[in-house]
Structure 1
Amino acid sequence: MKNLFVKTERQRFWLGQLAAIAEPIKSKAVEVDEQSRFPFEAYRLLLQMGYPQLTLPKQYGGEGLSVYDMVLVQETLASYDENASLSLGWTLGVVGEIYETKLWTENLLTAFAEEIKGGAIINRAVSEAATGSPTRGGRPGTTAVSTKDGWLLNGRKIFTTASPVLDYFLTSAWIEEKQQIGFFLIHKDSKGLSIEENWEMSAMRGTSSHDLVLKDVVVAKEHLVELPSHPSGGKINGWILHIPATYLGIAQAARDYAIHFANHHQPNSLNAPISTLPNVQQLLGDIELKLHQARFVLYGVAEAYDDPARRGLITNEMAVAKHTVTNLAIEIVDKAMRVVGAKSLQLTNPLQRYYRNVRAGLHNPPMDDMTIIKLATAAIEQKKLSES
């Protein structure tokens, strides 16, 4: 089924590059989860492969992967280790977005491209305990004040994914004098910047999404790089599809395990493996159906985004893809566990890890309730316009 979505030799090349490092990444995935530590081995191998520059445009010296290409590699990587996929996926998404929309000055884009080609990892630092998800429009408590030396930043960010390896933090802060939110590019070695290692979660334990603490951090004037009109950016951003791609990869891994188990598990009460039983086949068939549904939605939206003629027609499709894929992935893992039975809850069984981690997708943006409300609002307004 997956081969149906591989369309070019270039895509096959990068999937082959990932396949070459699959086993060492898979072999550490359990340890990463159990010890709640960052997947440093996967990070090192992906850096050697040039992962951070995959979505950097060719004109800046990168590989120039499209959103569709990114989804392919992210899903595949997640089937090896979902913690590595979500962690490194943020760099792919941020780099893709910045360079596609030219969010920064050309000089800064050119200079930062050299950092990316050198292996730099970047992520946005936006969430705060008091505001929750930035997509809900809360004003950050982190502040930026203009001084003669630059911008003085103070505050704390939560959910700073991949914090142990981030070279740059693209951090939101409230600028009182501008009455506006700004994004500041902050290097990891900036004085006053620290990471409080407090990521104690049951899901995505290896993403090391610790708190970023800023205490009188001075940032150069020119590193106020973005002044968005909306807290979440307010624009259609196809690069966020790296998020559902990760959860689809988890579903694929759960499916593979369930089928292998069904083909090899034969209780002494049966004359053949349980894959011959109608009720097991019903579960496996449901899994395949949901994988088909999720892939056609995800890759269909990615393909539409990459097509300049169709991109302008996109409204809520990114949110639809995230909602659909994440919830189908949760159902797929659940059905895989029903195939395997109580053994799926053993701590030595990968399905219990997939079950915990796939549910984290519900809490990545955009949230399900916001997606549903936006769809309803759009439908209502569209009908009003058609009748006016």
Structure 2
Amino acid sequence: MQEIFIQNSKQREWLGRLSPLEADFKEKAATFDKEGNFPHENIQALRKIGYTKVTLPEEFGGAGFSLYDAILLQEKLGSYDGSTALSIGWTLMTVGELFENRYWDPDNLAFFAEEVNKGAIINRAVSEVAMGSPIRGGRPGTTAKQIDGKWIINGRKNYTTCSPELDYFLTSAWMEEKETTGFFLIPKEAKGLSIEENWNVIAMRGTGSHDLVLENVVVDESDLVEIPSYNTGFKLNGWGLLIPAAYLGIAQAARDYALEFANTHSPNSIKGTIAGLPNVQALLGEIDLELYKARFALYGAAEAFMDKDRNKSITNEALVAKHIVTNSAITVVDKAMRLVGAKSLQLTNPLQRYYRDVRAGLHNPPMDDLTISKLAQTAIQQYESQGGNDNENE
């Protein structure tokens, strides 16, 4: 089904580079989930094929993949192993966003491009227990104080996905002297930086989303790489679509399992397989309908972000795509489990893992309630700006 969204040979070539990893990633996924271990081998395999720099522009030595290109890859990788796709997705997102928007000064971008070309991976460390989701506007409890030309950083971040393999932590901290939030580029070797391995949840168990602990971490003035113009420490952007792409891949894996089951399961109460039963065909049709809906929303939003003319009129497209994809993924897995029946609840069955994993998407920003609220606010603002009140007085 993804085939109709492939647009060129470059995309096809990179999808081909991922293919040899499929069997191994799928085979190990259940073990990583059961033991709650991080898939180090998977990340290293992705580094080896250059996957970590696909969103780095060609002028900096990367593959120069667009948002649309990267979504194709992330969806495919998500069908192999959701935890691996989500883990590496934050690096692809961060690199793509940084270099497209040129958030940093040229020297810092050039330095970091060299690191990415060497295989370095990165994630923003933003979330904290006290502030909740950063998208809701809370101020970081993590602090950065300036002493003798250095910054001293103290604090704790949670949900630091891919932490066991990250080379850099792009960390938000409140700077009292400047009365604003800044992002500091902190290498994993920094003294006082540690990872508290406390990620123990029922979904995406292999993402290593542990706590980042910072105790008197000293960085140079130049490591203050970004002072956001927005005031929440978090900004929605098109590159965020790489995250729901991973959940779409999981949904595709659930669909494929259900389709194979329907075409091979043959109870002695019927002739042939259950694929011929009307109720089974109804579920398969509903599953594919959800996948089509999700893909058109996701890839359509990506194309809108990439079109400079259309980009100017974008409001909530990324939020809408994320909402549709995440909820469609949940629906797809649910219907796949209904088709397969009680067998889907067995711990040896991948559907129960898919079921748990796709629900994690509800808790990646933006959350559903924020999307619905933003849509309503936008509709009201557009009505008012178009003189809606004047119409009532005519």
Q: Does 1:89 align with 2:89?
A: yes
Which residue of 2 is the match for residue 337 of structure 1?
Answer: 337
SS of equivalent to 1:194: strand
Q: Does 1:349 align with 2:344?
A: no
Which residue of 2 is the match for residue 138 of structure 1?
Answer: 138
**Distance in 1 (alpha carbons) for counterparts of 2:186 and 2:104:** 14
Deviation of 1:233 after TM superposition, in Å, equals 5.3
User: Equivalences for 1:1-388 in 2 at 5 Å?
Assistant: 1-232=1-232, 237-387=237-387
SS of equivalent to 1:21: helix
Q: How many residues align?
A: 388
Query: What TM-score comes out, normalization by structure 1 length?
Result: 0.99
Kept in 2: contact 1:137–1:230 (CA 8 A): no
Deviation of 1:148 after TM superposition, in Å, equals 0.8
**Distance in 1 (alpha carbons) for counterparts of 2:156 and 2:291:** 39
Deviation of 1:232 after TM superposition, in Å, equals 4.3
State the 4+ residue runs in structure 1 displaced beyond 4 angstroms: 231-236
Deviation of 1:45 after TM superposition, in Å, equals 1.1
**In structure 2, do the counterparts of structure 1 residues 87 and 383 end up closer, same or farther at CA, with 3 Å as the change threshold?**
same
Give 5+ residue unaligned stretches, structure 1. none
Deviation of 1:229 after TM superposition, in Å, equals 2.9
**Distance in 1 (alpha carbons) for counterparts of 2:75 and 2:318:** 16
- Name the amino acid aligned to 2:300: G
**Distance in 1 (alpha carbons) for counterparts of 2:24 and 2:364:** 27
Kept in 1: contact 2:138–2:232 (CA 8 A): no
**Distance in 2 (alpha carbons) for counterparts of 1:46 and 1:232:** 32
**Distance in 2 (alpha carbons) for counterparts of 1:66 and 1:38:** 28
SS of equivalent to 1:206: coil
- Name the amino acid aligned to 1:244: P
**Distance in 2 (alpha carbons) for counterparts of 1:202 and 1:363:** 13
Q: C-alpha offsets along residues 191-243 of structure 1, whole Å, 9 cap, x if unaligned?
A: 00000000010000000100000000001101111111334456551110111
**Distance in 2 (alpha carbons) for counterparts of 1:298 and 1:383:** 27
Kept in 2: contact 1:344–1:351 (CA 8 A): yes
- Name the amino acid aligned to 1:76: K
Deviation of 1:66 after TM superposition, in Å, equals 0.2
**Distance in 1 (alpha carbons) for counterparts of 2:176 and 2:236:** 27
- Name the amino acid aligned to 2:64: G
**Distance in 2 (alpha carbons) for counterparts of 1:227 and 1:211:** 23
Q: C-alpha offsets along residues 339-374 of structure 1, whole Å, 9 cap, x if unaligned?
A: 000000000000000000000000000111011100
**In structure 2, do the counterparts of structure 1 residues 261 and 14 end up closer, same or farther at CA, with 3 Å as the change threshold?**
same
SS of equivalent to 2:184: strand
**In structure 2, do the counterparts of structure 1 residues 233 and 315 end up closer, same or farther at CA, with 3 Å as the change threshold?**
farther
**Distance in 2 (alpha carbons) for counterparts of 1:73 and 1:171:** 27
SS of equivalent to 1:55: coil
- Name the amino acid aligned to 2:334: D
**In structure 2, do the counterparts of structure 1 residues 138 and 236 end up closer, same or farther at CA, with 3 Å as the change threshold?**
closer
Q: C-alpha offsets along residues 21-57 of structure 1, whole Å, 9 cap, x if unaligned?
A: 2111111111111110111121111111101110000
Kept in 2: contact 1:55–1:64 (CA 8 A): yes
Deviation of 1:149 after TM superposition, in Å, equals 4.4
**Distance in 1 (alpha carbons) for counterparts of 2:175 and 2:149:** 16
**Distance in 1 (alpha carbons) for counterparts of 2:166 and 2:234:** 25
**Distance in 1 (alpha carbons) for counterparts of 2:116 and 2:85:** 18
State percent identity of aligned pairs: 61
**Distance in 2 (alpha carbons) for counterparts of 1:285 and 1:5:** 20
Kept in 1: contact 2:37–2:206 (CA 8 A): yes
SS of equivalent to 2:194: strand
SS of equivalent to 2:24: helix
- Name the amino acid aligned to 2:255: R
**Distance in 2 (alpha carbons) for counterparts of 1:259 and 1:338:** 12
**In structure 2, do the counterparts of structure 1 residues 321 and 355 end up closer, same or farther at CA, with 3 Å as the change threshold?**
same
**Distance in 2 (alpha carbons) for counterparts of 1:366 and 1:106:** 30
**Distance in 2 (alpha carbons) for counterparts of 1:217 and 1:233:** 20
Q: C-alpha offsets along residues 75-96 of structure 1, whole Å, 9 cap, x if unaligned?
A: 0000000000000010000000
**Distance in 2 (alpha carbons) for counterparts of 1:235 and 1:35:** 34
**Distance in 2 (alpha carbons) for counterparts of 1:232 and 1:94:** 17
SS of equivalent to 2:206: helix
**Distance in 1 (alpha carbons) for counterparts of 2:9 and 2:310:** 24
Kept in 1: contact 2:181–2:233 (CA 8 A): no
